[in-house]
């Protein structure tokens, strides 16, 4: 069985699940997952976990993501992207300086309303199910962080910008808020995820690449190379293998434990006793 990470450059007009289904057949495994859904309209970095690395999905999902997004001004749709039904049109009269000022105003932490066309659940039901059945629902709000945001181009009715955001940020909703501040409406016409954590679009593979055996699977050691690593002896290995709480010998919150040059577990600080560490993710 393959264990590792492969960075896919997802095409438009397919779901993240479509990619997983295709790669399930390519790698002949059901132990496969991804670390952050991309809408069908979106393209770019989709991190695929194989084998034991599926245990890393949650950890890798929490990383910051970088996007290049394009806004089409003057149109508002129900899905907040160009694939939706038009709800409203409006005039717009904006300058490059106004756009730059508005973009900058979103830097830092803010509260974002989750779009109704999303898979977030309210009372056990996905929001898009409420939308499709035209049922009223109170949309949840989340704290998000915009780490960086910059204007790339402004031509006629299109604004393209690049941004780095925290987990759970909806670029469609950010665009809607940007347009409100510009005193108009707009919708997302394209979206490319260029980076997730350390994984970049420059080091990604198309599905055709993968089908033609032109790809590299990152090992667990490569994926976790930025984490503090502790080499352990046989005595400690036997304790770790049994999932024991151990004396903490690392300085960061989470560290890799290595035995015979292989990462066997991630351990994290045991907050009931900061001198101890407990199992977080096990590979044995």
Active site residues: 39
- Helix (H) and strand (E) counts for the chain? 8, 18
Contact present, 235 and 242 (Cβ < 8 Å): no
User: With b meaning 16 or more CB within 10 Å and e meaning fewer, what string describes 180-200?
Assistant: eebebbbbbbbbbbbbbbebe
C-alpha span between 32 and 75 (Å, rounded)? 38
Nearest residue to 174 (alpha-carbon basis) of 156, 187, 184, 189: 187
Contact present, 229 and 208 (Cβ < 8 Å): no
C-alpha span between 106 and 112 (Å, rounded)? 11
Chain mean position to CA 105 = 23
C-alpha span between 21 and 274 (Å, rounded)? 42
Contact present, 47 and 36 (Cβ < 8 Å): yes
Contact present, 220 and 256 (Cβ < 8 Å): no
Collapsed DSSP state (helix, strand, coil) of residue 264: strand
């Amino acid at each position: 069985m393959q264990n590792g990470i492969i960075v896919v450059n997802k095409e438009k007009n397919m779901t993240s699940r479509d990619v997983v289904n295709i790669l399930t057949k390519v790698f002949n495994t059901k132990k496969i997952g991804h670390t952050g859904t991309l809408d069908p309209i979106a393209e770019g970095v989709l991190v695929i976990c194989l084998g034991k690395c599926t245990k890393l999905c949650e950890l890798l999902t929490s990383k910051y993501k970088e996007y290049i997004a394009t806004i089409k001004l003057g149109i508002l749709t129900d899905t907040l992207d160009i694939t939706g039904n038009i709800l409203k049109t409006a005039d717009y009269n904006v300058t490059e300086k106004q756009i730059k000022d508005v973009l900058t105003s979103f830097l830092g932490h803010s509260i974002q309303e989750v779009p109704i066309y999303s898979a977030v659940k309210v009372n056990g039901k996905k929001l898009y199910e409420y939308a499709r059945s035209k049922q009223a629902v109170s949309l949840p709000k989340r704290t998000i962080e915009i780490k960086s945001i910059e204007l790339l181009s402004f031509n006629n009715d299109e604004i393209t910008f690049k941004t780095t955001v925290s987990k759970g940020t909806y670029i469609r909703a950010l665009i809607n808020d940007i347009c409100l501040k510009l005193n108009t409406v707009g919708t997302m016409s394209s979206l490319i995820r260029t980076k997730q954590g350390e994984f970049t679009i420059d080091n990604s593979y198309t599905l055709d690449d993968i089908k033609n055996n032109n790809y590299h699977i990152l090992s667990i050691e490569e994926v976790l190379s930025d984490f503090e690593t502790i080499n352990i002896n046989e005595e400690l290995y036997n304790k770790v293998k049994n999932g024991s709480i151990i004396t903490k010998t690392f300085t960061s919150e989470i560290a890799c434990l290595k035995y015979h040059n292989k990462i066997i577990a991630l351990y994290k600080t045991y907050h009931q006793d900061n001198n101890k560490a407990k199992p977080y993710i096990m590979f044995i």
